[in-house]
Amino acid sequence: MSSLTRLIPGPAETRHAGAADFRDWLADLYAPPSVPFVRLNFVASVNGSATGPDGTSGTLTGGLDRRILGVIRAAADVVVVGARTVREEGYLAPRSARLAIVTASGDLTGHRLAGAAAAPLVLCPPAAAERAEASLSGVPHELVILEGDRPDPRAIVTVLAARALASVVCEGGPTLAAAFIDAGVVDELCLTVAPTLHAPGLPLFPELAGSPALRLGQLLTDGDGYLYGRWSLA
């Protein structure tokens, strides 16, 4: 039976994934310390690749990563993703949180959003609005026009907060996440490290401009060798 061990903060504590209180234990470990709160949530190989052999993050996922992903999403009001993630990974809307898609181009081809429980938000600049509407023809959604040529993370967080979506988790892609970090709006990075080496077809945060300090507040590991860290950003 799979188990998860909390290494930091100590003393070490192990819980079995089949235990009746396992999800509640996880929920306590990943509860946002405050609201508003902005998280990044990613999986990467040991050498920093954000994609696996098939060019998506799905082939890096393993161990108890999906269980932790579900807990992080359940604690969020909204999951933010970029259009590239929607196009390349066939992104499905989360079951508990609302989905917000950020796009500079309006190209959302390849989406799998039909039948989503709540109409996704689509945040884009004025020039991308027509293409976004065409990409989502027949799919309920809410279009939000952002000022400027490219979406500004500060404006995105403000727009979401105005809709009572103050607990935010951004799941990528890396370019969007790097923009969130550089804009200074990120409180925490939740990073799963998969026990594998893979040529980084898409490096984690390839366009990061700054070098923010991080503090490791929590580290978990499972029997498959995955590491699950919570890093606070200064």
Give the pLDDT score at 112: 78
Q: pLDDT tens for the chain, 234 residues: list them.
A: 689 999 999 999 999 999 999 999 999 999 999 999 999 999 999 998 988 888 788 888 888 999 999 999 999 999 999 998 888 777 777 888 999 999 999 998 877 786 677 889 999 999 999 999 998 888 899 999 999 888 999 999 999 999 999 999 999 888 999 999 999 999 999 999 999 998 767 788 877 888 899 999 999 999 999 999 999 997
Give the pLDDT score at 35: 93
Give the pLDDT score at 8: 98
Query: SS3 of 56, please?
Result: coil
Partners of 228 in the beta sheet? 192, 220
Query: SS3 of 231, please?
Result: strand
Question: Domains plus CATH for the chain?
Answer: 37-76+169-234 (3.40.430.10), 80-166 (3.40.430.10)
Give the pLDDT score at 196: 93
Pairing of strands 214-222, 3-8: antiparallel
> Order of strands across the sheet with 78-82?
13-16, 3-8, 214-222, 227-233, 188-194, 37-45, 167-170, 78-82, 98-102, 121-124, 142-145
pTM score of the predicted model: 0.92
Give the pLDDT score at 115: 67
Contact between residue 66 and residue 108 where contact means Cβ atoms under 8 Å apart: no
Q: How many CB atoms lie within 10 A of CB 22?
A: 17
Query: CA 101, CA 80: separation in Å to the nearest integer?
Result: 6
Q: How many CB atoms lie within 10 A of CB 115?
A: 9
